[in-house]
Amino acid sequence: MKNNNWWRGAVIYQIYPRSFLDTNGDGVGDLPGIVEKLDYIAGLGVDAIWISPFFKSPMADFGYDIADYRDVDPLFGTLADFDRLLAKAHSLGVKVMIDQVLSHCSVEHAWFKESRESRDNPKADWYVWADPKEDGTPPNNWMSLFGGIAWRWEPRREQYYLHNFLASQPDLNFHNPAVQQATLDNVQFWLDRGVDGLRLDAINFCFHDAQLRDNPPKPKEKRVGRGFSPDNPYAYQYHYYNNTQPENVPFLERLRGLLDRYPDAAALGEISSEDSLATTAEYVTDQRLHMGYSFELLTEDGSAAYIRATVERLETAMVEGWPCWAVSNHDVQRAVTRWGDGESSPAHAAQLVALVCSLRGSVCLYQGEELGLPEADVPYEALQDPYGKTFWPNFKGRDGCRTPMPWNDEAQAGFSNGNPWLPIPAEHRAINVAKQDADPSSVLNTVRGFLAWRRLQPALRSGSIRFLDAPEPVLAFVREAEGQRLLVAFNLSAKPVQWSAPDGMVASVLDGHGLSSATSDGRTVSLPPRGVHFALMV
């Protein structure tokens, strides 16, 4: 797949650099560590990597609070290290995507330091500042996703500034054209350096309601959402005014205009709104983002009915766009735990990879998914995530999915010669890379085999999708492209099931994918626990 189409059907491997490989013994992963393991990544059969933020930052939110958009934090290395990473990845045929956090930055950013000094300096209107109400309280009722009100008082200006996330992450004022241009200039810096794409963090949060209207209350029974429990006050509101504003669309078109000057570059937007699928369909078009993904498959519900309904709703809404799917990332509990019903089997881990890679669209696989890593149980005294510290014990935060990669069975799992920034659980060391690499039937080798097999199936990489009626726990659909029609079915349970394909649907079983495969007599499909069925339709 060449030029600006490489991303269609691509498998993108997400690297959380703090937890990938530490080469200098400080307990934190770094860019040289990624360089060292690029051969491993290429050997998985992925098309691209997405690297979570490695820019200069005080690390209040572990890099998602950026103090300098154009430099590498010394914790991770240098710009020269990044250039070396980029060159080696390209030599291995792997594209490189980097996180861009556009909607907010760090209080340590030079722009904010200038802006907060007065109401009349050159950067005075670069952030969302507002006067208090007559009684001194914040200008409206907006809440921070990380807990509490979304406004912080600044005595220098005698005003509040908006922070949709941590108080140390002030929101930029995208209603100011100078902010938009400066943001695009920062993006261009990395495009000129040779990156192949951008993962755009919280991209629907760039604009706020200029009138600062209150968000309306949300009924108790509807207080659900990604990454937070109903006891988080953020869930008490419909977030109609603090994000996902109409002005965001013209900005995305400006961003796409910049990207189109780099024919090989692609943008993947992270979208979390009141109706994330509708927003994804709106944002992902030929004039806006290349791909978009939401948290709709990063929820607790992993049933066949929910997966089908979610994908079908996006398919209906997205007329011309290209989706991207993920079932795990650095913000949510790992999928084998979240959807495992207390079970964490190799068959289930491999099936989850196959499932997300069989939906129409591109795919983000999170480091460790290829090993079947379960969620780590991080004790309170070892917590690093401010989100988890705030909402403990009802919500333990995101540290459990961010623990370091287990490369071998040594004390620190081959991750570091120092003390890792998060503890590495014994159950992760037991399923380390070295051990799985030597086992032909391991999750790692099963995933490698499946991804190699998937590359040869045009229907899975670029085809259409049509779901078939099937009872729980069977998820069944047809993928079709370039004259190839595949019947695909997954048994999402730990018990064997039988499923009867629709009348007249004749298909011959395909093997070579390496997963726990179904058998068929031409009509009835017998699916083993966590089994899959790939069949060529005639």
Residues 154, 171, 201, 315: which is the catalytic one?
201
**Model confidence at 250, in pLDDT bands (50, 70, 90)?**
very high
**Model confidence at 399, in pLDDT bands (50, 70, 90)?**
very high
The residue among 230 and 399 whose pLDDT is bigger is 399
360 with 424, same domain: the answer is: yes
Residue 292 pairs in a beta bridge with 269, 323
Establish if 194 belongs to a structural domain.
yes
- Whether 331 sits among the annotated catalytic residues: the reply is no
- 326-353, pLDDT tens digit by residue? 999 999 999 999 999 877 799 999 999 9
How far apart, in whole angstroms, are the C-alpha atoms of residue 223 and residue 117? 38
- Whether 201 sits among the annotated catalytic residues: the reply is yes
How high is the pLDDT of residue 342? 77
How far apart, in whole angstroms, are the C-alpha atoms of residue 444 and residue 368? 9
191 with 261, same domain: the answer is: yes
Pairing of strands 474-481, 484-491: antiparallel
How far apart, in whole angstroms, are the C-alpha atoms of residue 496 and residue 516? 11
Provide mean pLDDT across the span 532-538.
Answer: 92
Mean pLDDT for the chain? 95
How high is the pLDDT of residue 344? 79
DSSP state at residue 112 = H
497 with 391, same domain: the answer is: no
Residues 22, 81, 209, 270: which is the catalytic one?
270
Provide mean pLDDT across the span 278-294.
Answer: 96
**Model confidence at 407, in pLDDT bands (50, 70, 90)?**
very high
> HSE on the CB side for 532, CA within 13 Å?
25
381 with 234, same domain: the answer is: yes
Among residues of the chain, what percentage have pLDDT more than 70? 98
411 with 501, same domain: the answer is: no
User: For residue 97, which phi and psi values (nearest 5 degrees)?
Assistant: -115, 145
Provide mean pLDDT across the span 297-318.
Answer: 96
- 422-474, pLDDT tens digit by residue? 999 999 999 999 999 999 999 999 999 999 999 999 999 999 999 999 999 99
Establish if 32 belongs to a structural domain.
yes
- 16-43, pLDDT tens digit by residue? 999 999 999 999 999 999 999 999 999 9
**Model confidence at 168, in pLDDT bands (50, 70, 90)?**
very high
Domain containing residue 530: CATH number: 2.60.40.1180
Establish if 103 belongs to a structural domain.
yes
Last residue of a domain, one of 453, 484, 501: 453
How high is the pLDDT of residue 207? 98
Provide mean pLDDT across the span 414-420.
Answer: 98
58 with 102, same domain: the answer is: yes
Establish if 166 belongs to a structural domain.
no
Q: Report the run of H or E that residue 497 belongs to, with start and end.
A: strand 497-500
- 94-132, pLDDT tens digit by residue? 999 999 999 999 999 999 999 999 999 999 999 999 999
Domain containing residue 406: CATH number: 3.20.20.80
pLDDT at 3 over 60: no
Structural domain count of the chain: 2
Provide mean pLDDT across the span 149-156.
Answer: 98
Q: From residue 320, how far is each of 135, 249, 285, 442 by CA, in Å? A: 49, 16, 6, 38
Establish if 316 belongs to a structural domain.
yes
Q: Report the run of H or E that residue 426 belongs to, with start and end.
A: helix 426-429
The residue among 215 and 538 whose pLDDT is bigger is 215
pLDDT at 226 over 80: no
User: For residue 360, which phi and psi values (nearest 5 degrees)?
Assistant: -70, 125
How high is the pLDDT of residue 4? 52
How high is the pLDDT of residue 360? 97
Provide mean pLDDT across the span 258-287.
Answer: 96
The residue among 505 and 359 whose pLDDT is bigger is 359
- Whether 448 contacts 280, CB under 8 Å: no
Establish if 210 belongs to a structural domain.
yes
All residues at 6 or more sequence positions from 521 whose CB lies less than 8 Å from its CB, including other chains: none
492 with 394, same domain: the answer is: no
Establish if 129 belongs to a structural domain.
no
259 with 356, same domain: the answer is: yes
Last residue of a domain, one of 391, 420, 453: 453
Closest CA to 336 of 354, 351, 357: 351
Range of the domain at 68: 3-107+175-453
How far apart, in whole angstroms, are the C-alpha atoms of residue 522 and residue 502? 11
Out of 225-239, 450-464, 506-520, which region has the weakest mean confidence (pLDDT)? 225-239
374 with 495, same domain: the answer is: no
Establish if 122 belongs to a structural domain.
no
How high is the pLDDT of residue 225? 59
Closest CA to 535 of 499, 505, 491: 505
Provide mean pLDDT across the span 503-513.
Answer: 85
How high is the pLDDT of residue 182? 98
Last residue of a domain, one of 453, 477, 497: 453
291 with 246, same domain: the answer is: yes
All residues at 6 or more sequence positions from 339 whose CB lies less than 8 Å from its CB, including other chains: 302, 327, 348, 352, 492
**Model confidence at 229, in pLDDT bands (50, 70, 90)?**
low
Prediction pTM value: 0.97
Among residues of the chain, what percentage have pLDDT more than 90? 88
192 with 217, same domain: the answer is: yes
How high is the pLDDT of residue 426? 96
377 with 487, same domain: the answer is: no
Provide mean pLDDT across the span 131-149.
Answer: 96
